[in-house]
Structure 1
Amino acid sequence: MRLPARRLLPVTALTATSALLTGCFSGADSAAEGDGKRVRVAMMQPPRSGLSPLSDDAFKLSRWSTAETLVKLDADGDAEPALATKWQQSGRTWTFEIRDGVTFHDGSELDAAAVVRSLTTAATASPKPRILDGVELTVQAQDSDTVTVTTADEDPLVPQRLSSPQLSILAAKAYRGKTVNPVGAGTGPFELVSVNGTSSAALDRYDGYWGEQAKSPGIDVKFVPDGTARAAALRSGEADIVEAVPVSQAALLDEELVTEVPMPRTNTLYLNTSDGPFRDAGLRAAAREAIDAESIVEGVYEGRADVAEGLLGPALPWAAELRSDVKRTAAEKPDGRTITIGTFTDRAELPEVAATLQQQLQKAGFKVKLEIREYANIETDALAGEFDAFILSRATVLDSGDPAAYLYSDFASDGSFNISQLADAQVDAALKKAAGTGTGEARRKAVIAAEAAVLATDAAIPMLHERVIQGDATGVVGAAHDPRERQLVTADTYVK
């Protein structure tokens, strides 16, 4: 079936998903008369923790360009200067030089003490930000513009970790209460000036910004969980930027308003290698050969996904460039073997994927049972190896922007998310090498070698890489389309 032409984000671009606004935006231009239009944004998920940067709400702060980190990531996941201008490693300790001339939105100056305060608060929080799970980290000021970050074990990913929005650097005023309050406390080109619970937020351009001045006078955000309502706001002109347009609604929009952003998220069939029919590598190979991923992309995702070539998809453009053929086990005949596939209802497409896989595997000679529940009621059984196979939509880069942590958690013998129950010495060795290799080209090659080791076992069959659909109104210029969802409205974004 030939699909209509679509705007698909080039995978080398590092930009972020936008959000759509539904509801009334009256008064959106009032804060900057004669100085252009404010950007009206609709976000999919309301704040869960009062916009505390120690929670997933941190990603909203970074998408609005109001809170910044010491380091940012380029398209390949390598560290670049942000609030820190340079850094160097000496064993377990990293030294960071703090940028001069930066002020917080309350007028106070960025210095080493502010960095120590923010990072220490994060490192000692309970629970810790995800990026610091299993990481013991201490921060000290060497002088007014130099800090050292020391970890319990030597860690080549410290700069990448410090790029996480959950480790944003905020002014002292943010830490005066029991929770971290980011209002008026960031360093970005936009100042967060008000938050209306889980309904809306407003940001104004910060004229004292250390970098390029924002082209828009401000941002007006509304939180609109309903996908149909978000799409309707784009069609009606009530929203300038729309986050996560549902596939079912995308077809109703002008294709010129829609951009599909490759996400670092892979829909994968995990096979139980320790118990049941899939202990046999030949039967795992038979399952792999039976799966027609292209029909799943066309039938379930309406063509708005990418057929998987490996575990890492087009959101990591270097993966395809480094990947080579993998030697796999020959397939055996299923001979009517009964298998049970589990998945969950929380992601609407997964039950449909399961039904399609059931048909494909039965055609190949398996007998297939499905067990589908809410994720909260099925995760424990999946991790305990209660299913022969499990369908999961899995993020392949975590907060560091690096896939080595995902590969280790899912496929190492002692991995915390090893649904395949895989225990393979060659895989473990490849994963250990990847985790210990310094950042850059050498680490990327080690990661692809680890991916190849996993794929050779057929413990996991990657089927497709997901995209997120973003809506940008005709007058929007410079909206970010970021596979990592760290950026949305930047200093370059404005509405004509």
Structure 2
Amino acid sequence: MRRSPKPCHMAGAAVLSVLLAACGGTAPTGTPGATAYTMSAGTPPPKGDIASFTWALYAEPPGLDYIHAFDYPQNMILANVCESLMRWTPELTMEPGLATKVTNPDAKTFVYTIRPGVKFHGGGEMTADDVVYSIRRHLDPALGSYWNKALDNVESVTKTGPMQVTVTLKRPDALFPQWMATSAGTVVSAKAAEAMGKRFGTADGGVDCTGPFTLGTWTKGQSIELDRFDGYWGKRAKAGKVTFRFIPDVATRTATMTTGETDGGYLITPDSYTRLESSGKGKLYFGKSLTTVSLSVTNLKGAVGDVRVRKALMLALDRQGFLKTGLGGVGTLSGAPAARDAWQGAPAATVDAAYDGLAPASRDVEQARRLIQEAGATGKKVVVATSPIGPDVSLLATAVQAAGTEIGLDVELKTIAPDAYTALFSDPTAREAVDLFPNTYYLSITDPLASYSVFRSGDFENYSGFSDPAYDALFDQATAEYDPAKRAELTARLQKMETEQALWIPVAEWPTTMFLNNRITGAPTTIAYMYYPWAADVGAAG
């Protein structure tokens, strides 16, 4: 999806086209009606090993260097090849990974005890030196890590024992330890990475990590194979080989699943739901995703600079209609940028209170018209970006135009080519000519505070240029709070401040989608596949 912890939105056009040729996470569709669906916590455990399985992927990764892995294709593959100090679980909680233990002796220090006896695919055992090298690569500006925002607060990374690494922060940061379960905490062989140089992470060079699978044959433009690593320190993978096939066309990708040519895939597009469910070849699953579809505000100097106009659009927008036509009826209406599933560890009462009354119960066109009139915005122009990149983008933009026109605004749709749409997330000049654009956003950690970092003064993803010292101070206070319950209370206050300003106009929450052929099972149903070695759990269904 379109989101990035650094000055670069990596979920570009490729992702946008994934979810129905629309991700960006765009969520495409062509489904005229709603799809009945049930959220699944997981899939049945496998009954045995399997020689191999084939997975459909909408695009080929541009590379597999973990510091540049910030999109679906790279992470979905690397999650099975490389590992991090901590590990995201299928339940979206966190557990030890390449570190057996982490201590927090003071607010600015994290000490990681490194797991002994872990072997690299290329030979040799992992050491504290490899960990230090791997994290420091993110801090080298010459390498341009896409994860630099996650490590903004890192002061130093040092080896403090034979199998111990200490990270010292510039200031307290409760999100930092969570980032260590993502690519920000990945560990690679320092010796191999240095030897490969610029070839590291490429088809010609490869990678040298510790995961349950090794990187096998990479046939450019066609596929990547992973082979089971028998020297793996953890649970042995049930499949001997995994083949990822790159199939950009949605119809073709779906067809390979209905014929059994591929055994499944994540990021199933809404227009494929009915075809897959009726194929008899497998089962369609829906699970937690931490993904929201919203409209991002990019211009506070124009008509939408008045919060009454933004709230009027929220009241007039047919969000239920978009959920049905744009997302195939799969999802729930959203009242805030952060998905409810992101609030892991937060008291239920805090979460309920944080969302109480946020989402309009229904459209209220008359109230919306009154707000437009009060703002003196009747007849004023609002430019909304749209793109043929996918129905979720185009249908949402069209819905905004209809809503705005109905309440007295002059809404113009500005069509942007699919390959240029991603520039909206990384290039301020690309946003100069628009007031709003559809944005599907997912989190890489299970903490809603990460969603609200984008509204801080000067943040790269603060597309509107919003600035409020009180908001910044509250965000800093929440970031420095290590107690989950207390941090949740502070985050709820941040959410209230943001929603009162309506800097993003929330539309819907969109679950993870996955299809599994009848012959395999075991894959997680959640977005954990981005950083958890999910393919190692896949085995024979019978």
TM over 0.5: yes
CA 1:258–1:103 in 2, change beyond 3 Å: closer, same or farther?
same
In the other structure, the counterpart of 2:50 is 36
Amino acid at match of 1:178: G
Amino acid at match of 2:472: D
1:168 aligns with 2:186: yes
Amino acid at match of 2:59: Q
Contact 2:83–2:211 at 8 Å: present in 1 too?
yes
Which residue among 108, 126, 130 is the counterpart of 1:114? 130
Amino acid at match of 2:252: A
1:146 aligns with 2:172: no
Amino acid at match of 1:43: L
Contact 1:71–1:81 at 8 Å: present in 2 too?
yes
Contact 1:340–1:371 at 8 Å: present in 2 too?
no
Amino acid at match of 1:250: Y
Contact 1:267–1:462 at 8 Å: present in 2 too?
yes
In the other structure, the counterpart of 1:390 is 436
Which structure 2 residues correspond to residues 302-451 of structure 1 after superposition, within 5 A?
Answer: 302-316=328-342, 318=344, 320-321=351-352, 323-325=354-356, 332-335=370-373, 336-345=378-387, 347-348=389-390, 349-374=392-417, 375=421, 380=427, 386-387=433-434, 389-397=435-443, 399-409=444-454, 411-438=455-482, 440-451=484-495
Deviates more, 1:339-348 or 1:71-80: 71-80
CA 1:157–1:493 in 2, change beyond 3 Å: closer, same or farther?
same
Which structure 2 residues correspond to residues 88-107 of structure 1 after superposition, within 5 A?
Answer: 88-89=103-104, 90-107=106-123
Q: Output the TM-score relative to the length of structure 1.
A: 0.84
C-alpha separation between the residues in 1 aligned to 2:244 and 2:359? 50
In the other structure, the counterpart of 1:31 is none
1:278-315 Cα shifts (integer Å, max 9, x gaps): 34333333222212211111122221232113222244
In the other structure, the counterpart of 2:24 is none
Which residue among 278, 287, 291 is the counterpart of 2:313? 287
Contact 1:272–1:422 at 8 Å: present in 2 too?
no
State the Cα distance separating 1:454 from its structure 2 match. Answer: 0.7
State the Cα distance separating 1:385 from its structure 2 match. Answer: 5.7
In the other structure, the counterpart of 2:226 is 203
C-alpha separation between the residues in 1 aligned to 2:252 and 2:358? 48
In the other structure, the counterpart of 2:40 is 9
1:21-80 Cα shifts (integer Å, max 9, x gaps): xxxxxxxxxxxxx9633121122221202x2222226514443x2211111235786542
Which structure 2 residues correspond to residues 34-73 of structure 1 after superposition, within 5 A?
Answer: 36-49=50-63, 51-56=64-69, 58-63=74-79, 65-73=80-88
C-alpha separation between the residues in 2 aligned to 1:53 and 1:328? 37
Contact 2:238–2:539 at 8 Å: present in 1 too?
yes
Contact 1:78–1:440 at 8 Å: present in 2 too?
no
Amino acid at match of 1:124: D
SS in 2 for 1:37: strand
Deviates more, 1:207-216 or 1:67-76: 67-76
State the Cα distance separating 1:237 from its structure 2 match. Answer: 0.6
CA 1:271–1:343 in 2, change beyond 3 Å: closer, same or farther?
same
1:113-133 Cα shifts (integer Å, max 9, x gaps): 221222223332634322223
CA 1:322–1:175 in 2, change beyond 3 Å: closer, same or farther?
farther
Amino acid at match of 2:175: L
Contact 1:84–1:98 at 8 Å: present in 2 too?
yes
Gaps of 5+ in 1: 16-33
In the other structure, the counterpart of 2:25 is none
State the Cα distance separating 1:141 from its structure 2 match. Answer: 1.6
C-alpha separation between the residues in 1 aligned to 2:268 and 2:248? 11
1:247 aligns with 2:261: no
* Identity of matched residues, %: 21
Q: Output the TM-score relative to the length of structure 2.
A: 0.77
SS in 2 for 1:130: coil
1:246-268 Cα shifts (integer Å, max 9, x gaps): 22222211265222344333222
1:267 aligns with 2:293: yes
In the other structure, the counterpart of 2:526 is 482
C-alpha separation between the residues in 1 aligned to 2:167 and 2:298? 40
1:298-344 Cα shifts (integer Å, max 9, x gaps): 12222123211322224425585452435899863424332313224
Which residue among 177, 188, 192 is the counterpart of 1:159? 177
State the Cα distance separating 1:88 from its structure 2 match. Answer: 1.8
CA 1:302–1:55 in 2, change beyond 3 Å: closer, same or farther?
same
C-alpha separation between the residues in 2 aligned to 1:288 and 1:372? 22
Gaps of 5+ in 2: 1-31, 361-366
Count of aligned pairs between the two proteins: 471
In the other structure, the counterpart of 1:473 is 517
Contact 1:344–1:378 at 8 Å: present in 2 too?
no
Contact 1:420–1:460 at 8 Å: present in 2 too?
no
CA 1:281–1:366 in 2, change beyond 3 Å: closer, same or farther?
same
C-alpha separation between the residues in 2 aligned to 1:7 and 1:407? 29
Amino acid at match of 1:48: P
C-alpha separation between the residues in 2 aligned to 1:2 and 1:250? 11
Amino acid at match of 1:363: E
Which residue among 468, 493, 496 is the counterpart of 2:538? 493
1:185 aligns with 2:201: no
1:217-256 Cα shifts (integer Å, max 9, x gaps): 2212222222222111101111112232322222211265
CA 1:174–1:276 in 2, change beyond 3 Å: closer, same or farther?
closer
SS in 2 for 1:217: strand
SS in 2 for 1:282: helix
